Structures are given as structure tokens and as C-alpha cells.
Amino acid sequence: MKRTLLGLFVIVAMLGMISCESASNPMAPQTGDFSSNSMAKGGNGGGGSNSGETAYTCTSEGDFSGYNETNNPDYGVYEYTLWAGKHNDAGTVTITNDDDNIYVTYNTNETADLGEVHVYLWDDLSQIPSKRPSPGHADYVVENINADSYTVVMPADISCGSTFYISTHAALVGNDTDDDEAGSGDNSGETAYSGGADAPDCFDGQKGAWWGYATYTVECFYNISGTVYEDGDNSGDLEAGEDTFGGITVTLYDADGNVVATTTTNADGSYLFEHVPGGADYTVVSGDPSGDYAANENAGGYSISDLSSDVTDVDFGFVPLYDIILNVGVDVAGDCAADLVVTFNGVALVALADGSYFVENQLPGATYTLTATATSEAGSDSQTWTGMLTADLSLSWSLAVECNGGNNEYDDCDTNQDGVVDAAEAAACDEDPDGEGSEVGTAYMVGNTSFCDDLGQSRWGWANYLEEGDVITQDIYAGAGQCDITKGTLVGQATIDNANGIISITMYGDYYMNDLHLNIGEQLPSNLIANGNFNSNPSSWDPQTYTTSYDVLAGGYVIIHMSVWE
């Protein structure tokens, strides 16, 4: 391949159209910031006179000087000294490439300008001649340049790792350009080749016409990027709106575990490793954020095999871990003991020294169940929380149980605790020591809200929900275990007038109220069986009839509970 550009340069120069001093030369379309400005004019000082000389490189790989940022991949840029007359520094020769071309850029210093350039390009060592090839027969010949900078563009079949052998020759003329890099001596008329720092010794050792070539290997560089984020829903993927972590150290390792580079995430959690050499294996590892987190997405690192393109979305997710703390109070009505059992997802917990229960480091996105149950000789009370965690959770519960005898739901004589003292139980128990009659059992006014079905309680009973203006009349049943009135005894009737705020209770036959408990409010009490703590309990009442007034409810509940005797 041979291309010769001849006499037209003279005409163009006369018209003032030749300007090869800047990187905008159409022969040099590459872009990017090449750290040492290698595509601009070189600037190592030279010495001696190079008038009439020709310059070549001995074999050299050059000095890496930056990147040709053509984007996915970027390519390396290598710089050589332009040696005039074997020993004098006349500027630089820079070699780089893009996807389709190799670029050889000559830049002279103030000791000379370019007259002619001649470039040979080989892609196999066997093609290189044993003696200096004729400059005039080079693959690329440019004459009548008379400028301090020129780029030769050479189309080539380029792939990462390809190696080319390039002989660069220049014939120098007197300096006639401004703002050149400093140089020493006058290299006008010299011959020049590019080479490394030790090239002069190499040139001196040659016999016959001195020359050389550069070994240029295409180096591809890629970017690796991603985000370090808080995986709030434990999904394993970065989703819109999720928080990110700034200031996290991210490390890039090679296949042997050596640190290649480290970087720190930006305020938005993003990071970038730029210009990573291709063709190798890497692992990206994120540091941990402060606080309680578990690594999720790419926990342990992200591996890349044979890097051959930009790699994006190398994200690292960290799932927040949440704690639950529970304080439980147990109110025992009577003189007996109560056992408290607290379970988390069915597993019993052990109380801390202060009596609280603690569950730590739980993941979001899962459903948990926490239950506390207090059990006494007369029954039990429990409370349950079920849900997902989106933050630390603090709970405070109050449970209440009763003892047999006293103000409890079951009489001491009701040994099977069904709410009714039957004949056998009565025969075995002195149930009326004072001659005041016998206990029929605990009784409730029937209502539209069942403890058993609507509220999921282990104890039976009812509440009535009323809107303002409602007036209802309901039966009162004793011993209606499991909220089943067919098991109970009809002992009376009650009317709730929520238009005027009046409650009226009437007992049937020989039945009478031994204890009476009322709860009136917009909400149900936190403990339905601790009736001694109801908010409207009377201090005295007629055993067979009772009437009381209250503030009309805009919407709320009324519970009527009693112990019935006959």
C-alpha cells in the first residue's frame, strides 16, 4: 500500500490553506483528554545540530501517555521522542488508534518543522525487512508539509490486543512556526525517527543506514459502574425511590486478588472505575454501610470475566435490619399465679433482665407474628401482632387474668369453668354459705359484636355498637359459653337508649345481679375480661332493676356484664 501526496502542497501553502499545528487537522479526528496532551506538540529539549539528517526509531514500545476516549472502548496513547541525527530531541511522535484507524502524529519543537513524513505499517514481524526500507517507498508519504505538526491516518483491521510494527521517518526543515515547545539547537535539514529514551544508543550500534520501528499494541479500556443502595424491601434489585449510600469505598481486584483501584461512592450512591484494561478478570467489592444491614445484591462481590465492554449496573444492595422490643404487663385479679409465654414466629422468647422481650436483626419483606399469652387457674388472655417491618418496632401490652373466686368470670364451684354451676358441682360445693341463694353464673347482655367471632377472644361475651340516636333492647344470658345462647340461661333484659343516654336493666323471676360491670365508650376496652376495670362500673344497684344515664355516644360500644344469682 502506498499513498503519495505531492506538488499540490505547494499550491495549497501559497493559498495559506495548510495548517498542521492543531489537533483539528482532518487527518487526526481522535478526541479525548490524553493526560500529557500527546496529540499536541511535543516538548523535550534537544541538543546539537540536525541539519540534513534523517531520523528513525529503533525497536521501542513507547511511553503510555493517556487515553483516546472513543467510548467503549477507549484506547491507549503512546509517545516516543523524535530523534534527529540519532541523538537530538526534535519533538515527539504519538501513536494511538480508534475502531478503524491508526494515528501517527508528529510534533516538532522549536528546533525544526516537518518537511516530509514517511510511515511503514506492518502487522507481522515476518514482514519487516532486515535493512532500512526506502523512505520514499513507504506505505504513507506526505511531502511539502512545512509545519510543526502532522497526523498520518492509516486504516487498519483493529481488535483489542492486536500488535502493529510502525516505522516513522521524518525529514526536517527550518522552524517557521510560532509558539513551539522549547528545544535546543537547530535541527533544520535533519532526518528524524521516533524512539524511546535509550534509542540513541540503539542507533549508534547499527551498521549502515540507521533506522527502527515502534511496536504498538492496541490496548482497550472500559468503564465499570454501579450504585450502592439500601434495599428497603429486600427485593434484591435497585428500585426507584430507594435510598443510596454516599462515601462507601468500592474496590476493584484482579484475578489474583490484588487491588487494582479503589473509589468512593458519590452522594447519590454511584461510583465509576474508568479506563480499566480489557481482556482480564476482575471482582468488584463494596464496603459496608454503617448501622445494622445485611448484604443482599452482589453480596461477596461481583465477578467479571474477560472484560470486553463497559459494565454498568454493578449494584450492591444492603437490607436494613430491624429490632422488636416488647414490654408486657400482666394484671392478676385475685390471689393466684399467672404464667406468661411470649413467642416470635412460634418460638418462645426469654425475657431480658428488665422483663422485656427483644428480637433483633429481622429483615423487611417478611411477615412476622409476635404473641404474648398470660394463663392463670381461671383462664388466659393474649395479644398478637402480625405484620412486616419497615422500622424498629416497640410494643407495650397489658394482659389481665383472674383467679377462681372473688371478682372473676368463673365461680369456685364451677369446676369445669363452663359458666354454670350444675347439680353435681353444687352438691360437691357449699355454694351458699350465707343463705343468700346460689350463683347461676357470669352473664352478658347479648350484642352485635361477639367476643368469640368478631374479636377472636378466648372468652365469651358481647358488646353492642350504637350510633347516635339508636335504641336497642337485648336479652341477658348467663353461662352462654362460646357465645352460644343455647348453652346459657335467659336471666333478664336490658335497653340502651343512645338518643337520651339511658341504660335500663331488668332481671327475670328470682334472678338477681350480685356484681354489675358497665363499659361505655367510643372504643372497646383494651382488656375485655378485666371487667373490674370497666369505665362505668356502679358502686351500688338494686339487685333486680337498674337504671343509669350516660353521655350520648356519637358512635361507640356498650358492654353489660354481671354475676347472676337466684
Report yes or no: 307 and 222 within 8 Å, Cβ to Cβ: yes
Mean pLDDT is highest, among 41-55, 180-194, 359-373, for 359-373
First-to-last alpha carbon distance for the chain, in angstroms, is 124
Please give the single-letter amino acid code of residue 299. A
- Residue 556 is predicted with a pLDDT of 94
Is-contact 173 59, C-beta < 8 A? no
Average pLDDT over residues 101-128: 92
User: 10 Å Cβ neighbour count for 146?
Assistant: 19
pLDDT tens string 54-102: 434 477 778 999 999 988 899 999 999 999 888 889 899 999 999 999 9
- The neighbouring-strand residues paired with 266 are none
Q: In the prediction, which pLDDT does 40 show?
A: 28
Task: Indicate the pLDDT class of residue 184, thresholds 50, 70 and 90.
Answer: low
Cβ neighbors of 467 (< 8 A, separation 6 or more) are 498, 553, 554, 555
Angle at the Cα of 117 from the Cα atoms of 115 and 123, rounded to 5 degrees:
175
| pLDDT at residue 466 is higher than 80 | yes
**Banded pLDDT at 14 (limits 50, 70, 90):** very low
pLDDT of 512-538, one tens digit each? 998 899 999 999 887 776 777 789 999
Helix (H) / strand (E) element for 112: namely none
Contact present, 378 and 403 (Cβ < 8 Å) = yes
pLDDT of res. 422: 55
Please give the grid coordinates belonging to residue 500.
Answer: 337520651
Where are the chain's structural domains? 3-217, 223-320, 323-402, 423-565
Residue 369's nearest CA partner among 341, 343, 399, 340 is: 343
Separation of alpha carbons 316 and 231, rounded Å: 9
CA distance 98 to 96: 7
- How would residue 499 be classed by pLDDT, with cut points 50, 70 and 90? very high
Closest CA to 43 of 106, 109, 105, 104: 109
> DSSP character for 546?
E
Please enumerate in sequence order all residues whose Cβ is within 8 A of that of 310, keeping only pairs 6 or more positions apart, or say none. 72, 73, 222, 223, 224, 225
Residue 52 has pLDDT above 90, yes or no: no
The DSSP output letter for 48 is S
pLDDT tens for 242-269 read: 999 999 999 999 999 999 999 999 999 9
Q: Which CATH number does the domain 223-320 belong to among 2.60.40.10, 3.40.225.10, 3.20.20.80, 2.60.40.1180?
A: 2.60.40.10
Residue recorded with cell 467510548: 71
**pLDDT at site 66:** 92
Instruction: Return the CATH architecture of domain 323-402.
Output: Sandwich (2.60)
Quick one: pLDDT at residue 212? 84
What integer pLDDT is reported at residue 418 of this predicted model? 53
Give the bridge partners for 295, in sequence order: 318
Q: Bin 528: left if φ > 0, else alpha if -120 < ψ < 50, else beta.
A: alpha
The pLDDT, as a whole number, for residue 430 is 45
Q: Do domains 223-320 and 323-402 have the same CATH topology?
A: yes
Neighbouring C-beta atoms of residue 333, cutoff 10 Å: 21
Q: What pTM did the predictor assign?
A: 0.57
292 CB neighbour count, 10 Å cutoff: 15
| Residue 540 reports pLDDT greater than 90 | no
Among residues 270, 268, 286, 267, the alpha carbon closest in space to that of 227 is found at 270
Is the distance from CB of 349 to CB of 342 less than 8 angstroms?
Answer: yes
Average confidence score pLDDT of the chain:
82
Cα–Cα distance between 314 and 301 in angstroms, integer?
A: 9
* pLDDT value at 287 more than 70: yes
223 versus 34: the higher-pLDDT residue is 223
Question: Cell match 343509669: residue?
Answer: 548
What would you measure as the largest C-alpha separation in the chain, in angstroms?
A: 142
206-215, 404-413, 419-428, 435-444: range with highest mean pLDDT? 206-215
Cis peptide before 73 (omega within 30 of 0): yes
Task: Pick the closest to residue 393 from 443, 442, 357, 350 (CA basis).
Answer: 357
**Between β-strands 322-333 and 393-402, what pairing exists: parallel, antiparallel or unpaired?**
parallel
Q: Give the pLDDT confidence score for residue 190 in this predicted structure.
A: 80
Alpha-carbon gap, residue 67 to 275, rounded angstroms: 8
Which carries the bigger pLDDT value, residue 198 or residue 425? Answer: 198
Residues 192, 201: Cα–Cα separation, whole Å: 15
Span 481-495, average pLDDT: 90
Distance separating alpha carbons of residues 413 and 421, to the nearest angstrom: 6
For strand 220-230 and strand 316-320, is the pairing parallel, antiparallel, or unpaired?
A: parallel
* pLDDT tens digits along 374-418: 998 888 899 999 999 989 999 999 999 888 654 334 455 555 555
Phi, psi of 486 (to 5 degrees): -70, -15
| pLDDT score recorded for residue 51 | 37
pLDDT for the residue numbered 13: 32
Task: State residue 268's pLDDT score.
Answer: 96
Alpha helices in 139-292 (DSSP H): 199-204
Q: How confident is the model at residue 482 (pLDDT cuts 50, 70, 90)?
A: confident
Task: Please determine, for residue 271, whether its predicted confidence score (pLDDT) is greater than 80.
Answer: yes
Per-residue confidence at 180, pLDDT binned at 50, 70, 90? Answer: low
Local structure of 370: helix, strand or coil: strand
Task: Tell me the HSE value of 486 on the side-chain side, using a 13 A CA sphere.
Answer: 0
The model's confidence at residue 424, banded by pLDDT at 50, 70 and 90, is low
Question: Over 60: is that where the pLDDT of 23 sits?
Answer: no
CB atoms closer than 10 angstroms to residue 11: 11
- Whether the per-residue pLDDT at 222 is higher than 80: the answer is yes
CB contact at 8 A, 316 and 295 = yes
Phi/psi of residue 136, nearest 5 degrees: -65, -15
Q: Which three cell numbers stand for residue 377?
A: 387457674
Name the pLDDT band for 6 (thresholds 50, 70, 90).
very low
Minimal CA–CA distance to 231: which of 317, 321, 323, 322?
317
- 300-337, pLDDT tens digit by residue? 999 999 999 999 999 999 999 999 999 999 888 877 88
CB 166 within 8 A of CB 95: yes
* Percentage of the residues of the chain whose pLDDT score is greater than 70: 82
